């Protein structure tokens, strides 16, 4: 059986997604910048689900090493069934406005590094004529808002990149799935965003992601109602939108 | 950064409800940060299945343990599991029962964390033979107020070990534990139901046959009076062997179903009245026959878990669970009779009255069970008149040399506590060594004068 590669496996959503995939008996390769962060997840998945888990160090910003990293993964696993890109950076908008290095960090982590590693993965899956490529973008990439447009624009770039990749890989039978989560109850939002019906649990999002992969979806808003919310937000004419404070 | 959120929190009995600063750490690193900031007093919160205020901290800090849910190692041969303290007993059953391993001790609900099970030293229907949860805890890691983690067992840091067992979270954060699971052949229980027309008969049958059943409990109709005071259904069982399963059962380890029903809202207060409760009790008593049959383990051990949020049944004001143990040496039957008589007179009792026998006490300084019999009752809170009545029950319990269970308590006072738990001074001494600045403290520990 092939393996699934999860880049950035220590985030809340990634951990839950790994559990969902493991419950379906997929063997996993988990990466993080610091692989110590993955030790507990590894033992947990192996004990709970009886699957094989390997952990690898991966730094999205270490562009020069991406080729070697990916080839090494394929050589060791023999066969990759899919890749999920689940890391990202969300810095403070106000600080990013004042500091290009903060803006650039978000651009490089969320966009540049994704292009770098997914280009390589795309060539592999295109040749193999099967598999899936999944990346976590955000509803924030659907429309620029004053409160987080720098982050949003990096995710918008990622969404369009994925859209193009989907177009390219369609004839090869490779699924390209863009995940657009709304607000998720993670460490980042705890105490910042009030609990309420809009705040989804990481496990709900993870279940949706795995369902999206199984059903070979293209774009997935999770939870589903974000599709409706973003549809409305996208329909607001710019003339009006620029005056809003949403 | 780990920041708290101010929230109203309660235990399972929904009394008291207190505003606490709720942290949600994700790693030991986070726990250390919380401790080193020294902003508030701290207490761990498992799944909140204690009834009262052991896991509450009014205007102080609470650390949720739901992110500490990783399995760390399992030895298929020996059945020794190491896991983080926030792993629930439900997860352990779901993962290991299909592999032929079961928990050696399980309380009446499986929605309990390993940390919570240690900190209250929980007991099950097999206490008379197998003792408390701690009996199967080989070691655990305790994060102290200083930020240092120590490993505690029967041979290492033994003082800390026995103070933490039943120590209601006051010695530190338990971060991980190694526990011994037991082998079973099936996920079924061979259960024997037997009615007893009153307390005398119930006691006779209990005492006579206790040693013959691994699991043993009696449900008491606590509204029956006169000659049938204490009429009960004894429910006892053993793990069913493979050959005992009926032919129609194809899989010896059928996975259990999750909860099926949900209490949508709090029941209105008029729903619970002496009439509806006594009608329920009469019906429940009548629904049993004397028989032995094979039942699945979740319905035997955790029948209440089938209804999500069943605590809402008692309405907004919540309820008290009063569980007391009466030592064997001191005519426990008459103590229990007195308690039941006062309850029926006061007409304030409940659906749930459970009699269990317990084996010898362990070395846990604040561990609850001692050799004798325990009675547990749910008592809805209608108004403040309940509280003086509970003090009256405490007096009865004390006069028989018994004590109430801190996992269920929300109301006893410091004097009562100290009489009931004579090793409190020893506990305080160990706590002082482990936590010199008194960083760990809870609403309960302040109420009963422990911190
Ligand atoms: C329906 C029902 C049936 C029950 N039946 C029984 C029974 O048969 N026998 C029995 O003994 N009990 C029984 N109980 C009580 C229950 O088993 C205990 O209250 C148990 O301790 C709850 O565990 P929890 O994880 O929810 O912990 P909480 O209730 O959240 O916390 C309990 C205590 O443990 C401490 N704690 C929790 N986690 C940690 C940690 N990681 N480190 C340090 N301290 C910690 C808390 O500070 C607190 O003092 C029952 C409860 C219910 C609701």
Could you give the CA distance from residue B239 to residue B205 in angstroms, rounded to a whole number?
A: 21
> What is the structure's pLDDT at B348?
74
**How buried is B266 (Cβ within 10 angstroms: 0-12 exposed, 13-18 middle, 19+ buried)?**
middle
pLDDT at A197: 86
Q: Could you give the percent of chain A with pLDDT greater than 90?
A: 94
Q: What is the pLDDT of residue A1?
A: 55
Residues in chain A closer than 8 A to B4 (CB atoms): 191
| C-alpha to C-alpha distances, B239 to B172, B183, B189, B292, nearest whole angstrom | 36, 10, 5, 13
Walk along chain B (451 residues) in steps of 10 and give the mean pLDDT of each run: 91 97 96 94 98 98 97 98 98 96 98 98 97 98 98 98 98 98 97 95 86 94 89 95 90 71 77 79 90 93 88 88 96 95 82 91 98 94 91 97 98 98 98 98 98 96
Q: Looking at residue B194, what is its pLDDT? A: 95
The pLDDT of residue A19 is 97
Output the CA–CA distances (angstroms, integers) from residue A173 to A128, A161, B251, in the order listed.
Answer: 9, 18, 40
Rounded distance between C-alpha atoms, residue B30 and residue B23, angstroms? 10
Residue A246 is predicted with a pLDDT of 81
Q: Is the ipTM of this complex over 0.90?
A: yes
Cis peptide before B27 (omega within 30 of 0): no
Question: What residues does each domain of chain B span?
Answer: 71-184, 188-414
From B246's Cα to the closest Cα of chain A, the distance in A is 30
Pick the CATH number of B188-414 from 3.40.1410.10, 3.30.70.2520, 3.40.50.300, 3.40.50.970: 3.30.70.2520
Across the range A33-42, mean pLDDT stands at 96
**B71-184 fold:** 3.30.465
Residue of B4, B26, B95 with shortest CB distance to A48:
B95
**DSSP-based three-state secondary structure for A51:** coil
The predicted structure's pLDDT at residue B320: 92
Q: Tell me, what's the pLDDT at B420?
A: 98
B272 touches B314 (CB < 8 A): yes
Using CB atoms, which residue from A43, A47, A187 is nearest to B26? A187
Nearest CA in chain B to A38: B70
Contact A47 B24 (CB under 8 A): no
Residue B119 Cα to ligand 1 middle (Å):
7
pTM score: 0.96
**Nearest alpha carbon, ligand 1 atom 21:** B116
Q: How far apart are CA B359 and CA B356, in angstroms?
A: 10
Pocket of ligand 1 (CB under 6 A): B 12, 43-50, 54-55, 65, 85, 107-109, 112-113, 115-117, 119-120, 122-124, 168-169, 173-174, 304, 407
| Best probe residue, ligand 1, of B120, B150, B219, B303 (max atoms within 8 Å of C-beta) | B120
Look at residue B101 and give its three-state secondary structure.
strand
Q: Of all helices (H) and strands (E), which one includes residue B151?
A: strand B149-153
- Contact present, B177 and B139 (Cβ < 8 Å): yes
In chain B, the residue whose alpha carbon lies closest to the alpha carbon of A44 is: B71
The residue nearest atom 51 of ligand 1, judged by CA position, is B49
Look at A2 and B404; give whichever has higher pLDDT.
Answer: B404
**Residue A202 clears pLDDT 80, i.e. is over it:** yes
Domains and CATH numbers, chain A: 4-241 (3.40.50.720)
Task: Summarize the confidence of residues A107-111 as an average pLDDT.
Answer: 98
How do residues A156-172 score in pLDDT, each as one tens digit? Answer: 999 999 999 999 999 99
């Amino acid at each position: 059986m092939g393996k699934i590669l999860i880049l950035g496996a220590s985030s809340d959503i990634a951990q839950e997604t790994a559990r969902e995939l493991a419950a379906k008996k997929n063997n996993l390769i988990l990466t993080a910048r610091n692989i110590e962060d993955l030790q507990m997840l590894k033992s947990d998945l192996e004990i709970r689900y009886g699957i094989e888990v390997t952990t690898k160090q991966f730094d999205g910003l270490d562009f020069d090493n991406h080729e070697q990293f990916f080839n090494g993964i394929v050589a060791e696993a023999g066969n990759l069934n899919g890749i999920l890109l689940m890391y990202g950076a969300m810095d403070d908008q106000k600080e990013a406005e004042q500091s290009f290095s903060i803006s650039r960090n978000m651009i490089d982590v969320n966009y540049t590094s994704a292009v770098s590693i997914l280009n390589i993965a795309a060539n592999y899956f295109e040749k193999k004529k099967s598999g899936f490529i999944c990346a976590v973008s955000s509803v924030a990439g659907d429309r620029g808002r004053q409160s987080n447009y720098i982050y949003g624009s990096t995710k918008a770039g990622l969404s369009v990149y994925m859209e193009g990749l989907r177009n390219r890989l369609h004839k090869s039978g490779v699924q390209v799935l863009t995940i657009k989560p709304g607000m998720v109850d993670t460490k980042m939002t705890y105490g910042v965003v009030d609990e309420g019906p809009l705040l989804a649990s990481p496990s709900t999002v993870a279940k949706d992601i795995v369902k999206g992969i199984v059903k070979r979806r293209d774009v997935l808003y999770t939870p589903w109602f974000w599709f409706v919310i973003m549809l409305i937000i996208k329909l607001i004419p710019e003339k009006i939108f620029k005056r809003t404070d949403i | 950064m780990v920041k708290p959120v101010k929230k109203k929190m309660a235990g399972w009995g929904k009394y008291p409800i207190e505003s606490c600063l709720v942290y949600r750490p994700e790693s030991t690193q986070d726990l250390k940060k919380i401790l080193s900031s020294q902003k508030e007093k701290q207490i761990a919160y498992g799944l909140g299945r204690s009834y009262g205020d052991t896991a509450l901290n009014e205007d102080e800090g609470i650390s949720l343990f739901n992110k500490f849910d990783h399995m760390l190692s399992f030895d298929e041969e020996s059945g020794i599991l190491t896991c983080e303290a926030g792993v629930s007993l439900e997860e352990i059953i779901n993962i290991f029962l299909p592999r032929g391993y079961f928990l050696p001790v399980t309380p009446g609900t499986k929605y309990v964390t390993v940390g919570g099970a240690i900190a209250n030293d929980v007991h099950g229907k097999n206490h008379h033979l197998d003792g408390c949860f701690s009996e199967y805890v080989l070691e655990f890691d305790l994060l102290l107020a200083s930020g240092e983690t120590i490993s505690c067992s029967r041979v290492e840091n033994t003082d800390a070990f026995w103070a933490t067992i039943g120590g209601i979270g006051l010695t530190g954060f338990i971060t991980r534990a190694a526990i011994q699971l037991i082998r079973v052949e099936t996920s079924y229980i061979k259960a024997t139901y037997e009615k007893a027309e009153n307390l005398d008969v119930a006691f006779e049958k209990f005492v006579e046959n206790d040693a013959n059943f691994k699991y043993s409990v009696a449900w008491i109709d606590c509204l029956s009076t006169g000659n049938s005071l204490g009429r009960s259904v004894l429910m006892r069982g053993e793990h069913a062997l493979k050959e005992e399963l009926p032919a129609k059962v194809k899989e010896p380890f059928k996975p259990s179903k999750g909860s099926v029903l949900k209490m949508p809202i709090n029941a209105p207060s008029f729903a619970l009245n002496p009439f509806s409760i006594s009608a329920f009790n009469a019906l429940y008593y009548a629904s049993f026959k004397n028989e032995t049959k094979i039942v699945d383990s979740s319905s035997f051990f955790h029948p209440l878990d089938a209804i999500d949020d069943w605590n809402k049944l008692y309405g907004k004001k919540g309820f008290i669970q009063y569980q007391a143990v009466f030592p064997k040496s001191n005519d426990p039957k008459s103590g229990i009779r007195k308690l039941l008589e006062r309850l029926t007179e006061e007409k304030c009792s409940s659906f749930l009255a459970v009699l269990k026998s317990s084996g010898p006490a362990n070395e846990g300084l604040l561990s609850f069970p001692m050799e004798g019999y325990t009675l547990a009752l749910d008592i809805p809170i209608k108004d403040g008149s309940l509280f003086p009545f509970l003090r009256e029950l405490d007096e009865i319990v004390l006069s028989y040399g018994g004590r109430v269970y801190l996992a269920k308590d929300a109301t006893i006072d410091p004097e009562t506590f100290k009489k009931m738990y004579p090793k409190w001074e020893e506990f305080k001494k160990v706590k002082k060594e482990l936590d010199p600045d008194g960083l760990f403290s809870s609403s309960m520990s302040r109420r009963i004068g422990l911190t």
